[in-house]
Amino acid sequence: MGHSYDLLRRATGAHSRGVIYSSYMILSMADDFKYMPFRLVDEVDMKNNRDWLSRLLEMIPVRGTLDYRCFLGAPWRIDFPASEVGEIPYHVILGGSAVLEDPEGGPTRKLMVGDILLFPHGSAHALHDGSDAAPAPARQRTTLNVVFHENDGTGDRLDMMCGRFILSAAHDRLIRSYLPRRVILHAPENSAAAAGPGTGAQVVGLVSLMRAESAAENLGGLAMLNALSTALFAVALRLASEITAPPDGLLALAGNPRLVPALTALFNEPARAWTLPELAQRCNMSRATFIRHFQERLGRSASDLLTDIRMTVAAKALKTSNMSTGAVAELAGYQSEAAFQRAFKHQMGITPAQWRRTHACSTELGLGTHNY
């Protein structure tokens, strides 16, 4: 993604020109959606079909929030504790660089301008300037739209946005089960996304507008930042599925255009009694080849994914509607209410009735704060 990445670097490095360009891109984004990469769309039986990511976000609505804009001079360090269930931290490097340190033993990674980092499992992590020096004391300055995290360090400067993608704690199981522990988007030059301007250009526009809105107290700025942050989640996952070597799990599955017809079918018609031969036929594969490639990419079987999609559909219906348990069972693809009851308890740990009592009256998603 050479051209797109260059644009992103220029947009994050040239404030005024970036804002002008990003405004144009946001206005034209609606037209770009018509030209989404073919890998996200099943061209077979398109009637009433949507791409898998749109269906996922319908099942599990996600809301974004931008919490912090960090202006730090080396030496600096920020330790992020594990997030609450239902929260996915993200970071966007606008200027300078940062070293990612993984408390769980993963390798350290250097993040550069334009890089986007997500933690779908809410894992604890730390970011620092790469030195062993004691960090300069930091302070926070609150504005109408965002909190600025600053210090008096005199070394190399970091400019970074930090926020969260928030989903219902009752519905985050599919996300945590099928997305990797962390996603780092470097927008490599040899990315498949470089074949078209859509995704890279949309990342440019979103990041540039978020940078501009977080730097000033504009009218409606907080609403704009939250809306752009929400859009960033979908665009980041789309970009992650397009790169040459997508991360593990659902993104790796979506990154294989031969398997996308089956993925799209499962998300669009979870109540259908899918068979492996039917799914394999949609992918123009033999049954054995389909099973092998699906398992290699996702790490789980098509049956496992279908069951989890069905449970997500059922959990949402139980939480948001007054449908009877029998009607929810039918919606989720179970001919027998007893079979649904058994499957739901096995997957979710409690019965549908207990789930409904626990979650149906839950309040709207909250926007808690974290201390950095």
Global pTM value: 0.79
Over the stretch 272-306, which tens digit does the pLDDT of each residue have?
999 999 999 999 999 999 999 999 999 999 999 99
User: What pLDDT is stored for residue 361 in this prediction?
Assistant: 55
Q: What is the Cα 146 distance to its own chain's centre?
A: 21
User: What pLDDT is stored for residue 105 in this prediction?
Assistant: 73
Least Cα distance to 259 among 300, 198, 313 occurs for 300
Mean pLDDT, the chain, integer: 82
Beta-bridge partner residues of 87: 166
Mean per-residue pLDDT, 249-254: 91
Least Cα distance to 187 among 201, 171, 172, 173 occurs for 201
Over the stretch 122-148, which tens digit does the pLDDT of each residue have?
999 999 999 989 999 999 999 999 999
User: What pLDDT is stored for residue 54 in this prediction?
Assistant: 92
Contact 294, 301 (CB under 8 A): yes
Q: Label residue 33 exposed, middle or buried (CB < 10 Å: 0-12, 13-18, 19+).
A: exposed
Report the largest interatomic distance among the alpha carbons of the chain, rounded to a whole angstrom: 67
User: What pLDDT is stored for residue 88 in this prediction?
Assistant: 95
Least Cα distance to 137 among 76, 67, 96 occurs for 76
The fraction of the chain above a pLDDT of 90, given in percent, is 59
User: What pLDDT is stored for residue 198 in this prediction?
Assistant: 66
pLDDT of 32 > 90? The answer is: no
What does the H/E/C string look like for the chain?
Answer: CHHHHHHHHHHHHCHHHHHHHHHHHHHHHHHHHHHCCHHHCCCCCCCCCCCHHHHHHHHCCEEEEEEEEEEEECCCEEEECCCCCCEEEEEEEEECCEEEECCCCCCCEEECCCCEEECCCCCCEEEECCCCCCCCCEEEEECCCCEEEEECCCCCEEEEEEEEEEECHHHCHHHHHHCCCCEEECCCCCCHHHHCCHHHHHHHHHHHHHHHHHHCCCCCHHHHHHHHHHHHHHHHHHHHHHCCCCCCCHHHHHCCCCCHHHHHHHHHCCCCCCCHHHHHHHCCCCHHHHHHHHHHHHCCCHHHHHHHHHHHHHHHHHHHCCCCHHHHHHHCCCCCHHHHHHHHHHHHCCCHHHHHHHHCCCCCCCCCCCCC
pLDDT of 229 > 80? The answer is: yes
Mean per-residue pLDDT, 76-89: 94
Q: What is the Cα 114 distance to its own chain's centre?
A: 17
Contact 232, 284 (CB under 8 A): no
Contact 302, 178 (CB under 8 A): no
User: What pLDDT is stored for residue 247 in this prediction?
Assistant: 75
> How confident is residue 244, by pLDDT bands cut at 50, 70 and 90?
low
> How confident is residue 35, by pLDDT bands cut at 50, 70 and 90?
very low
Mean per-residue pLDDT, 140-167: 94
Q: What six digits make up the tokens of 323?
A: 């449908």
